[in-house]
Amino acid sequence: MQRTLVKDAHASAEPRDSILLQGWVRTRRDAKAFSFIELNDGSCLKGMQIIVPDTLPGYAALMHRAATGASVEARGRLVASQGAGQKWEVVAEHFAIVGDADATYPLQKKGHSLEFLREIAHLRPRSNLFGAVFRVRSRLAYAVHRFFQERGFHYVHTPIITASDCEGAGEMFRVSTLDAANPPRDAAGAVDFVRDFFGRQSFLTVSGQLEGETFACALSNIYTFGPTFRAENSNTSRHAAEFWMIEPEAAFLDLFGNMDLAEAFVKHLVRDAREHCAEDLEFFSKFVDKQLAARLDFVLERPFQRCSYTEAIEILEKSGRNWEHPVAWGDNLQSEHERFLAEEHFKCPVTVYNYPRTLKPFYMKVNDDGKTVRAMDLLVPGIGEIIGGSQREERLDVLLEAMRAHNLNEKDYWWYADLRRYGTVPHSGFGLGFERMLMFVTGVANIRDVIPFARTPGSAEF
């Protein structure tokens, strides 16, 4: 007999004479002539109530073993439920234990702290919260592909191992084939990285952008979606050393077209989650963030705001706030400033653009003022920066000059410069942090709780 998922059983239009469910026991409650078992299989938030009558052979021994966490299967009739909050329940005609779980099973019905659940990252997907988070994560990954594929963007697999530091922040993890105990040394005794992987220094990628640009300058519209790595030792709720990024890149697109694309993309993801993960989002609204539903509605209903970096600085200076990090033209916006702009000033997602050239990587297009570049950051309430992007410098001479200003070796980026040598075009792109997007859609406040196995300082046990 074929297994039915709990989700499909709940969606059944009529009773069924015979149904087979398989999953894990969430709770068991024993009554006089039968036991109630809540069986959960991860297909949806709600478990299915199974009624096991005491007339089943071996009833007492079976119920003794049907403890929270045990895997079980139940075959029986799907019937209308008398209980509140559920349409159907299953009256078991056959019930079996597949795998026992003893009393050390750490997930009990009572609420556990997020910190505790992080320590059992291998079991936390069985909890309501994490089941919901990871169903939404899966759905949104699919929605990412749908959005771009339906718009004619091609998916490009950019490399994980690379020699280039796209963001120039020096936050790269080294990939090495060197024998750490006995590395080759040059004449002066220094470790000889020339003999490292590929005959040069290699790293885990911080961004697929530079390689993505080569494909945009051929296929016109492309996107990447993969893991990226940053060796920043920042212990915040928004930074991970390994995170997933979506990076579209489009030829013949300017900065404002790029902003339009980013806005349509974020709205598409919110709308998709609303439509396809309604039950899970309701759970987040109830137990994680009471403002969530209102915030997501708001995002869908209105156009995002836009303001230049220079205007943003004026707003911050005029705010009369006592900033922890005082801010003036030329300074990086800190999280407190980003959140003020999105949460208190605009009360809406806002794209800040035209940042000082000194704050941004070498590849951004320089504006006519010579001081600013065509950068854009999308800031959202509750999180701050969720997207970073720009129009790229397509003029060879200006690009080479920027490389020198950033102390980059032109020879290392000859292939990148070639894109400007042969048929250069204006082009733009951006990167959306997938985990930050998930935090925004679920209301979950810590990045460690929206990625299956968080790679943050001090968390590599799994």
Q: Report the residue from 240, 253, 262, 342 that binds ligand 4AD according to the rule CB under 6 A.
A: 240
User: By C-beta, is 185 or 406 nearer to Mg ion?
Assistant: 406
Residue 349 near Mg ion by CB under 5 A: no
- Which two three-digit tokens encode residue 320? 């009369």
Across-strand partners of 205? none
Contact of residue 89 among ligand 4AD, Mg ion, none (CB under 5-8 Å per partner type)? none
Q: Report the residue from 162, 209, 354, 442 that binds ligand 4AD according to the rule CB under 6 A.
A: 209
- Helix 255-276 / helix 434-442 crossing angle, nearest 10 deg: 50
In whole angstroms, what is the distance from residue 318 CA to residue 437 CA? Answer: 30
Strands (E), 113-254: 154-155, 161-162, 174-175, 202-204, 221-229, 242-251
Query: Which helix (H) or strand (E) segment is 387 a member of?
Result: strand 384-391
Across-strand partners of 73? 22, 96
For residue 224, the SS3 value is strand
Residue 388 near Mg ion by CB under 5 A: yes
Residue 381 near ligand 4AD by CB under 6 A: no
Contact of residue 167 among Mg ion, ligand 4AD, none (CB under 5-8 Å per partner type)? ligand 4AD
Range 390-429, binding ligand 4AD (CB under 6 A): 390, 429
User: By C-beta, is 45 or 352 nearer to ligand 4AD?
Assistant: 352
User: By C-beta, is 381 or 388 nearer to Mg ion?
Assistant: 388
CB atoms within 10 A of CB 252: 12
Provide the minimum distance between the beta carbon of 167 and Mg ion in the complex, in angstroms, as a whole number.
8
Residue 384 near ligand 4AD by CB under 6 A: no
**Burial of residue 282, with CB atoms counted within 10 A of its CB: 0-12 exposed, 13-18 middle, 19 or more buried:** middle
* Cβ(129)–Cβ(110) below 8 Å: no
In whole angstroms, what is the distance from residue 388 CA to residue 386 CA? Answer: 7
Q: What binding mask, one character per residue, do residues 155-194 give for ligand 4AD by CB under 6 A, x or -?
A: -----------xx---------------------------
Interacting span for Mg ion (CB under 5 A) from 77-85, 313-321, 385-393, 414-422 = 385-393
Residue 436 near ligand 4AD by CB under 6 A: yes
In this structure, the strands spanning 34-40 and 48-53 are: antiparallel
Interacting span for ligand 4AD (CB under 6 A) from 37-45, 94-102, 186-194, 232-240 = 232-240
Residue type for 362, please? F
Interacting span for ligand 4AD (CB under 6 A) from 21-29, 87-95, 110-118, 242-250 = 242-250
Residue 221 near ligand 4AD by CB under 6 A: no
Contact of residue 245 among Mg ion, ligand 4AD, none (CB under 5-8 Å per partner type)? ligand 4AD
In whole angstroms, what is the distance from residue 407 CA to residue 401 CA? Answer: 10
Provide the minimum distance between the beta carbon of 402 and ligand 4AD in the complex, in angstroms, as a whole number.
15
Cα Rg, the chain, nearest whole Å: 27
Residue 388 near ligand 4AD by CB under 6 A: yes
- Which two three-digit tokens encode residue 180? 């750490």
Residue type for 437, please? M
Range 275-334, binding ligand 4AD (CB under 6 A): none
In whole angstroms, what is the distance from residue 113 CA to residue 115 CA? Answer: 5
Contact of residue 221 among Mg ion, ligand 4AD, none (CB under 5-8 Å per partner type)? none
Contact residues: Mg ion, CB under 5 A: 388
Contact residues: ligand 4AD, CB under 6 A: 166-167, 207, 209, 230, 232, 239-240, 243, 245, 247, 385-390, 429-431, 433, 435-436, 447
